[in-house]
Structure 1
Amino acid sequence: MSLPRPIARERPSDAARASRHAARKQTRNNRCAARHGRITGGGQHGSTRRQDMGPAAASWRSIMRPSLSRVTAPWALVAAAAVLLALTMGARTSFGLLLSPLNTATGLGLATISFAAAAGQLAWGAAQPVVGMLADRHGPVRIIAAGGLLLAASTALLPLVQGAAALTAVFVLMAVTGAAAGSNALLLGAVNQRVDHARRGLAAGIVSAGGSAGPLLMAPLVQGVTGSAGWVAATLVLAVLALPALPLSRAFAPRRPAADVAPVVAADARRVRAQLRDRRFILVTASFFVCGFHVAFFTTHMPGVIALCGLPMGFAGLWLAVAGLANVVGSLAAGVAAQRVAPGAMLAALYAVRGLTIALFLATPTSAGATLAFGVLIGLTQMAVLPPTTALVSRIAAGHNLGMLLGVSMMIHQLGAFFGAWAGGLAVAATGAYDAVWLADIALSVIAVALCLALRERGAQRPQVLQPA
């Protein structure tokens, strides 16, 4: 008896196999989508479809799970800008600790060295509109990288200088290359163009906090290296610390902007003239002159003030560090407040607190505690003016020429810094004390408060945007 032969099955065609493979793939995709909460369509065999939850739920999902590039790219840029500003501001602040040993080594006199430092402050400001314009036109990557490399080279030249002219030239060169490596206008301009409008105040506060953290970290380092290995070694350390600008510049590479980020628009002469003549721009920039005078005087001459008070020289590094820590707190608080408080009123309050702090310091008997308390209060107001100032200039720019306008503001700021740094040296050379400069600081604070109170926002009226001819 023979067994029945099995019935041969027909092999499926290639089309059938492809259809089954597509159905299995669609099923896997639906399971994965259901696991992650996404809505998918059914396959040709009628896969189950999740009920649409409406546009409100879709909007909520987009907020809770925004695209990775949109979240990480702008805030990576903010972090890089904060580190760059920390390096440049920390180096500029720390040079005040080197004035006395530099005077001892060169014998040029404090007035001559103060003039060289003041010329550097002026060059820092004069370079910023040019740097901002170049960044608006060509992008900041190459400018930051080249600036960091040249800043390291020019800083390393400082121990080799002989004579007042050479010293002034090196200070000017360090200022110009430092402006390219990480100036306020360049970095805040790039941040404002990448970060959406609702978070620009916070972003500016974070970048300003980075500039404040620079002195906090670098002043004790420079003080320690100067005490243990001499001022030449401290200068070379500052030169090496300029080199991280090269890798950090990569964070500024252009990316496709988000829909709610204003595009960069090329400058035209008519629009630039209208913006520079804007009453609000004139007022806020004039108040920024006062800020430059104050900051340059504090950072350049506080070590000399501390020495005249009879406190040990090592105390100067501690004072700069304490002021730097207060700067971090003040910058972050100003960044948050700038999203809720009118910028003009906020600036007026900051300058008023600064003037009152100087008056109290002059009226208080000299002591280490009083000097540190002065550093805390001054630090809270020092870099805190940047977020509201940047907010005002950004409104005036309205997406046009922001880097250049911030550069012009910083140029006026550094014009004030020139007089602040120079006036301190002249006052000591003429009278042996800083009393005249302290009184000028108070008077300028009153003027800055009046300028900021004169700022009037025009409600929801938007700045006029001129079309190119």
Structure 2
Amino acid sequence: MSTASHETPRVFAVTQRNVTLAIIAGALILSAAMGVRQTFGLFINPFSFDRGLPVTLIAFAIALHNLVWGFAQPFAGAAADRYGASPVVAFGAAMYAAGLALAAIAPSGWVMVIGLGLFVGLGISCTTFGVVMTAVGRAVSAEKRSMAMGLVSAGGSLGQVLMVPLAQTVRESSGVFASLVVLSVVLLLVAPLGIVLDRNGRAAASDALVEAPSLRQTLGQARRHRGYRLLTIGFFTCGFQLAFIATHLPGYLLLCHMPIALGATALALIGLFNMAGSWGCGWLGGRFRQQHVLGWLYLIRSAAIGGFFLLPKSTASVTIFAAVMGLTWLGTVPLTSGLVAKVFGTRHLGTLFGVCFLSHQIGSFLGAWLGGFVFDVTGSYSLVWEATVVAGVVAALLHFPIDDKAVELVLREA
């Protein structure tokens, strides 16, 4: 009796330490992967002016990695579900670094497309949400899962703030080649952290694996589950809104005769406020029904976008818009992955979230591409701004009725 009482606090302390290590490791991997991705815009002009490459080809390479990321994500998640995060993160970091290195030495535009489009897309799919967040989700209890995922997402946002100035500083002092090599090294440095995720995530989930349904059964349940279908459709809106704003906000502000530096400042503010927003959404998801938090998040986004579009533009209005968007920017990720885990468990979480994320990335591709297409055709972004507002309202209406009861319980009731 006495021995047991002494061992319990020790076991609890070890568990807490393991969870903390998993959160830190996940945040560092996500920081490197997402932060490096945010630097790609810095290299468009150098690639164009120094190498004589068409801007459309460079933009296509950057857009392509979004699609590759989306289509590869379910497979990366399935590999992590089966083999653990460690080999998947290591492979992804190596592919990501190789893609950047290939772009740095590319003798032609299409070699650069293979590097920035194909290799980078595969690398990101193995080092971001579908692998990292699901590994962390397995390491914590169901009650703390949303909060832990929110912390990882918030920590991951730090890379978006730090990597851009790092890449810019190295590029200005030593050139594009050196800047891309430094970013490649950063990715290789975080590759071993997948071991930490495995040690703390798979062990915590070992009891759940014994009676878990097969992947085929789980995918069949998900396909028939109305809430999962609604969640997947709604996640399309998130990608559409974010990609359009991230890609076209600076150009839109120039059309509104705003200072040229204000666009970059707005994007930096979005990244900064996203740190608080991701944590806050994770916290809310642990205390309220996650689908309801998602519904209100989409409504707040739509209200912010609509107000910004309709009201006169000023430095203050742009700053407020960037802050509100940052607070709701990636908060969808811990809420969506947490909701999937609540309904289907964590055994095949990587695969199921990956399917949802494919919808998100299709939305990202269309948000970035349609913004440019509509502007070329009409000379205005108005139609796409209006579409982002409508899409947000529709997404909110899709999320509120989602049934979040665990699938096993629903089956037993049937």
Question: Normalising by structure 2, what TM-score?
Answer: 0.89
Q: Map of 1:17-166 to 2, 5 A cutoff?
A: 39=2, 66-105=11-50, 108-161=53-106, 165-166=110-111
If each structure's helix is expressed as a fraction of its own residues, which one has the higher value?
Answer: 2
Task: Determine the structure 1 residue equivalent to 2:281.
Answer: 334
Query: What secondary structure, in the 3-state scheme, does the structure 2 residue paired with 1:455 have?
Result: coil
Q: Distance in 2 between matches of 1:415 and 1:102?
A: 26
Query: What secondary structure, in the 3-state scheme, does the structure 2 residue paired with 1:341 have?
Result: coil
Task: Determine the structure 2 residue equivalent to 1:285.
Answer: 232
Task: Determine the structure 1 residue equivalent to 2:203.
Answer: 257
> Is the CA contact 2:343–2:407 (under 8 Å) kept in the aligned structure 1?
no
Q: Distance in 2 between matches of 1:312 and 1:233?
A: 31
Q: Distance in 1 between matches of 2:176 and 2:313?
A: 28
Q: Distance in 1 between matches of 2:57 and 2:221?
A: 40
Deviations 1:67-108 (A, max 9, x none): 443121122011111111111111222223433444444555
Task: Determine the structure 2 residue equivalent to 1:201.
Answer: 146
Match among 374, 394, 398 for residue 451 of structure 1: 398
Residue 214 of structure 2 is aligned to residue 267 of structure 1: yes
Match among 370, 378, 382 for residue 325 of structure 2: 378
Over the matched positions of the two proteins, sequence identity in percent amounts to 33
Task: Determine the structure 2 residue equivalent to 1:10.
Answer: none
Q: Distance in 2 between matches of 1:259 and 1:295?
A: 33
2:31 maps to a residue whose letter is A
Against the structure 1 CA distance between its residues 100 and 428, is the aligned structure 2 distance closer, same or farther, given a 3 Å change threshold? farther
Task: Determine the structure 2 residue equivalent to 1:353.
Answer: 300
Q: Distance in 2 between matches of 1:431 and 1:425?
A: 10
Query: What secondary structure, in the 3-state scheme, does the structure 2 residue paired with 1:262 have?
Result: helix
CA shift at 1:423, angstroms? 1.6
> Is the CA contact 2:161–2:268 (under 8 Å) kept in the aligned structure 1?
yes
1:219 maps to a residue whose letter is V
Consecutive unaligned residues of structure 1, counting only runs of 5 or more, are 1-37, 41-54
Segment of structure 1 superposing worse, 100-109 or 353-362: 100-109
CA shift at 1:463, angstroms? 4.2
Considering only CA atoms, is the larger Rg found in Structure 1 or Structure 2? Answer: 1
1:72 maps to a residue whose letter is R
> Is the CA contact 2:342–2:405 (under 8 Å) kept in the aligned structure 1?
no
Question: Normalising by structure 1, what TM-score?
Answer: 0.79
CA shift at 1:62, angstroms? 7.3
Against the structure 1 CA distance between its residues 99 and 372, is the aligned structure 2 distance closer, same or farther, given a 3 Å change threshold? farther
Q: Distance in 1 between matches of 2:110 and 2:219?
A: 36
CA shift at 1:342, angstroms? 1.0
Task: Determine the structure 1 residue equivalent to 2:291.
Answer: 344
Deviations 1:329-364 (A, max 9, x none): 011111111111111111111011111111121123
> Is the CA contact 2:342–2:404 (under 8 Å) kept in the aligned structure 1?
no
Q: Distance in 1 between matches of 2:221 and 2:42?
A: 42
Query: What secondary structure, in the 3-state scheme, does the structure 2 residue paired with 1:383 have?
Result: coil
Task: Determine the structure 2 residue equivalent to 1:325.
Answer: 272
Q: Distance in 2 between matches of 1:448 and 1:92?
A: 26
The ranges of structure 1 where at least 4 consecutive aligned residues each deviate by more than 6 angstroms after the TM superposition are: none
2:121 maps to a residue whose letter is A
Against the structure 1 CA distance between its residues 305 and 262, is the aligned structure 2 distance closer, same or farther, given a 3 Å change threshold? farther
CA shift at 1:449, angstroms? 1.1
Against the structure 1 CA distance between its residues 102 and 310, is the aligned structure 2 distance closer, same or farther, given a 3 Å change threshold? farther
Segment of structure 1 superposing worse, 108-117 or 213-222: 108-117
Q: Map of 1:389-404 to 2, 5 A cutoff?
A: 389-404=336-351
Deviations 1:241-262 (A, max 9, x none): 2122223122123457348963
Against the structure 1 CA distance between its residues 90 and 185, is the aligned structure 2 distance closer, same or farther, given a 3 Å change threshold? same
CA RMSD of aligned residues (A): 2.8
How many residue pairs get aligned? The number is 409
> Is the CA contact 2:294–2:396 (under 8 Å) kept in the aligned structure 1?
yes
Deviations 1:206-253 (A, max 9, x none): 111123222122233334445555544443332222122223122123
Deviations 1:168-227 (A, max 9, x none): 3222221111211x1201111111112111210111101111232221222333344455
Task: Determine the structure 2 residue equivalent to 1:176.
Answer: 122
Task: Determine the structure 2 residue equivalent to 1:14.
Answer: none
2:99 maps to a residue whose letter is S
Segment of structure 1 superposing worse, 95-104 or 396-405: 95-104
Q: Distance in 1 between matches of 2:37 and 2:378?
A: 27
Against the structure 1 CA distance between its residues 239 and 431, is the aligned structure 2 distance closer, same or farther, given a 3 Å change threshold? farther
